[in-house]
Amino acid sequence: MDRKAVNPWQWSVNFGFNQAELIEGGSKVLYCSGQTSVDGDGAPQNAGNMGAQIGLALDNLEAVLAGGGMTLSNLVRLNFYTTDVPAFMGEATPVLGARLGAAQVMPAGTLLGVASLAFPELMVEIEGTAVA
């Protein structure tokens, strides 16, 4: 698979994402449902802690990717839904940057502020698309 970042402007690179990613030669696409800070039984974890919630949501996303034979490095798009955009920008962004940086990936994506998620304790949900 060949992957090319498309950035008509460079400002998004400073935030750790590309405006688009051109994928050529990919043969497998995995569309991941939104992942949150829940345990193996689906019970919400880390109430009130955005950094811990994004970490567990990423762990859960990695488990789904692994089930499809992929890793974070295969991500081409990430969408984030959060009930607290300022907390996301302050607490989640460093965790997210470290994890995606280690995978050497800057997928295109969207950040949306929402009124609520599936459970009141949840502050963030991550939806991903991966290509191999």
- Pairing status of strand 75-82 against strand 108-113: parallel
Beta bridge partners of 115: none
Write down the domain spans for the chain. Answer: 33-131
Q: What's the start-to-end Cα distance of the chain, in Å? A: 6
Architecture in CATH for domain 33-131 = 2-Layer Sandwich (3.30)
Q: Tell me if the pTM is above 0.85.
A: yes
Q: Name the token pair of 123.
A: 């502050």
Tens of pLDDT, residue by residue over 60-104, are 999 999 999 999 999 999 999 999 999 999 999 999 999 999 999
Beta bridge partners of 128: 32, 78
